[in-house]
Amino acid sequence: MKVGILDGPGRLALVERPSPHAGKGEVVVRMAACGVCGTDLEKLRGNYQSAGRLGHEPVGVVEVVGDGVSGLVPGERVFVHHHVPCLNCPVCRRGDLTFCPSYSRSNIDPGGFAESFRVPRENVERGAILRLDRSIDWATGSLLEPTACALTAQRRVGFHAGDSVFLVGLGPVGLLYARLAAALGARWVGGAELSPLRRAVAVAGGMTSVIDPREPGAAESAVRAATGGDGVDLAVAATGSPVALRLAASLVRRGGTLNLFGLPDAGSRLDVDLQDLYLRGIRVVPTYATTEREVGDVHALLVNRRLDLSGIVTHQVALDKLPEAFALAGNPDAAVKVAVTGPAFHPS
């Protein structure tokens, strides 16, 4: 079968590998779609400390069910979460599940950019396979994991209905974060983005104020108008750029929250006036990844039509053209979100 792998720094390869086997307690899924995440791009660039397998936003059809697995049958449409916490360590017992030391060591094999992949026993046992409702098409299903990352972030930072939110960076995860915040009752959601295409998608999705951060004072003016000069309750650095982080920090109200949501460059440093953060009482909260609970909750929001993610997946590219998919995903003026399609894909 075809599998997309990292073949050295900056090299992406599509190779032939044996089809996976479902051992005891395991499941094999035939891939229908898998989103290209920003972290996949960073792995290719060599800028991700935990670089490894590619593809972690897959949906597909159950192909084989191993001995001892109950509640799943071949042919079911599913989403599969690649990482699961151990649920037993001190970090998990404190509720910080995505920071579990073993969380990132669990993974689907050989990754989401494969014709089929194996879901290991620990993932199956801990609820990482979610039945995908027929109302959710494959492309939208591939957005479950990144949208759930936004939900995990909003819960961790203490987002509430009625809050004002400003995002610096409206790439795919920034757009998902914004749509989710609006769906959950944000009073105002604004954002800054360099790409005209992504600004257009943000406006089409209902964002009330979207600016080009290169315009001097534009972000400050938008936030001042929306909040009466107070600053936003929640500012989100949805890109790892230190410049974006500085801008986001400057827009938070006294006592508000700064969410470090986008992946920073390895070795980058916090480049803000720490005394200013101290005197304004700004909470700085990094968030990472998600859990099965949030994936299920996002799924329910979609099924109940409380959340609309239309227009975010702009391109669907077949697995055998994986380099083309990565090239598109890495060009913010050409694409927003790219979904790689596999053998189980069909128009829904």
Query: Which among 317, 342, 341 is positioned nearest to 328, based on CA atoms?
Result: 317
Distance from C-alpha of 277 to C-alpha of 317, rounded to nearest angstrom: 44
Give the CA angle between residues 320, 323, 327 to the nearest 5°: 140
**pLDDT value, residue 51:** 55
Angle between helix 38-45 and 322-329 (nearest 10) = 100
209-211 and 188-192 beta bridge pairing: parallel
Interval 114-170: pLDDT, tens = 999 999 999 999 999 999 999 999 999 999 999 999 999 999 999 999 999 999 999
Is the pLDDT reported for residue 262 higher than 80?
A: yes
Mean pLDDT of the chain: 96
What is the mean pLDDT of the segment spanning 68-78? 97
Distance from C-alpha of 191 to C-alpha of 72, rounded to nearest angstrom: 41
CATH classification code of 2-143+312-341: 3.90.180.10
**pLDDT value, residue 177:** 98
The domain limits of the chain are 2-143+312-341, 158-286
Count the residues in the chain: 348
Distance from C-alpha of 136 to C-alpha of 139, rounded to nearest angstrom: 8
What is the mean pLDDT of the segment spanning 105-122? 97
Cβ distance 100 to 289 under 8 Å? no
**In the chain, pLDDT over 90 holds for what percent of residues?**
91
What is the mean pLDDT of the segment spanning 255-262? 98
What is the mean pLDDT of the segment spanning 279-285? 97
Cβ distance 62 to 75 under 8 Å? yes
Q: Is the pTM of this model over 0.95?
A: yes
Q: Which residues of 225-234 are buried (b: 16+ CB within 10 A; e: fewer)?
A: ebbeeebbbb
The lowest-confidence range among 129-138, 266-275, 280-289 is 266-275
When comparing pLDDT for 264 and 90, which is higher?
A: 90
| Alpha helices for 11-111 (secondary structure H) | 38-45, 90-93
CATH classification code of 158-286: 3.40.50.720
Distance from C-alpha of 38 to C-alpha of 55, rounded to nearest angstrom: 10
In the chain, DSSP finds a helix count (H) and a strand count (E) of: 12, 15
Q: Which residues of 265-279 are buried (b: 16+ CB within 10 A; e: fewer)?
A: eeeeeeebeeeebee
Is the pLDDT reported for residue 348 higher than 70?
A: no
Is the pLDDT reported for residue 191 higher than 90?
A: yes
Interval 290-320: pLDDT, tens = 999 999 999 999 999 999 999 999 999 999 9
Is the pLDDT reported for residue 49 higher than 60?
A: no
What is the mean pLDDT of the segment spanning 89-103? 97
